[in-house]
Amino acid sequence: MGWYLNTAAAPAYMDVANSNWLWISAIPVVSMVLVQAGLFLRRSWKNGKKMGLSDEQLKTGLKTGVISAVGPAIAVLAAMLALIAVVGGPVAWMRLSVIGSVAFELPAAELGVSQLGFGFGDEGITERAFATAVWTMTLGGIGWLIVAAVGTPHMEKARQKIVGGREKLLPIVTSGAMLGAFAYFVSGEVTAGAPETGSLAIGGLVMLSLLKIADENDVQWIREWALGTSMAVGLVVGIGVHMVAGGGW
């Protein structure tokens, strides 16, 4: 009963975090994302027609894209559930609709509240600390948008310059950059505790196993569902380890 009462009692700042005004403020941002998606879809359909693609080919491409989006969408949904617990529904909905990366949003929110001496899970987190977390998430994400807007037209030239005209190195450089970025985010979780380490290890093994099965049998849908499945399995394993062994080693 005591455990139930402790988990049921929401922090005071959650009244602000889930207020109607924040829901109303988040609607225009999410609506803009939906409008952009519609515009890109409409433009790609028209360009496909100009390239000589048939309606059947375009519909097949659309279907493949929708299926491919399911796995990452499940991952984002899981991230949203984690984010809702600390910053409320409206901010989680807005931030993950724009960025979609809990690997950034949660640390950014934690960094914000830490400036006022709090950590998520602490009692007495103030509305000011919550506001600082939201500003940290928002301003921190602006850099990505600016870099994408200014740097995207020059990225291919930079990548070509890095490999010095050796085309075979292009996929290696690109893959290395992605692996380095993910390794940076994961490295902090490896030694955080038994649940994190177990979740990471099992999730990684599931991902590798599914990709191997997909490659050996040439099954596209397994590739599309591999990410969401591995994250779900890793999450369940992490919860199980935490229940059995606690949060430490």
Question: How many Cβ atoms are within 10 Å of 11's Cβ, its own excluded?
Answer: 18
Contacts of residue 152, Cβ cutoff 8 Å, sequence gap at least 6: none
- Tens of pLDDT along the chain (249 residues) come to 444 444 445 677 888 888 899 999 999 989 998 999 899 899 989 988 888 888 888 887 787 777 767 666 776 777 778 788 888 889 888 888 887 676 678 788 888 888 888 877 777 788 888 888 889 888 888 887 788 888 777 777 777 777 676 777 777 877 887 788 778 877 777 777 888 888 889 988 998 999 899 888 888 778 767 777 887 788 888 888 888 877 665
What 3-state class would DSSP assign to 15?
Answer: helix
Cα–Cα distance measured from residue 130 to residue 65, given in angstroms and rounded to the nearest whole number: 37
pLDDT of 28 reads 93
Instruction: State which amino acid sits at residue 19.
Output: S
Cα–Cα distance measured from residue 239 to residue 199, given in angstroms and rounded to the nearest whole number: 8
Cα–Cα distance measured from residue 91 to residue 102, given in angstroms and rounded to the nearest whole number: 12
pTM (predicted TM-score):
0.58
C-alpha torsion angle, residues 151, 152, 158, 162 (rounded to 10): 110
Instruction: State which amino acid sits at residue 193.
Output: G
Cα–Cα distance measured from residue 7 to residue 93, given in angstroms and rounded to the nearest whole number: 22
Q: How many helices (H) and strands (E) does the chain have?
A: 10, 0
Instruction: State which amino acid sits at residue 85.
Output: A
Maximum Cα–Cα distance for the chain, whole Å? 67
* DSSP conformation letters of 82-123: HHHHHH-HHHHHHHHHHT--HHHHHHHHHHHHHTTT--TT-T
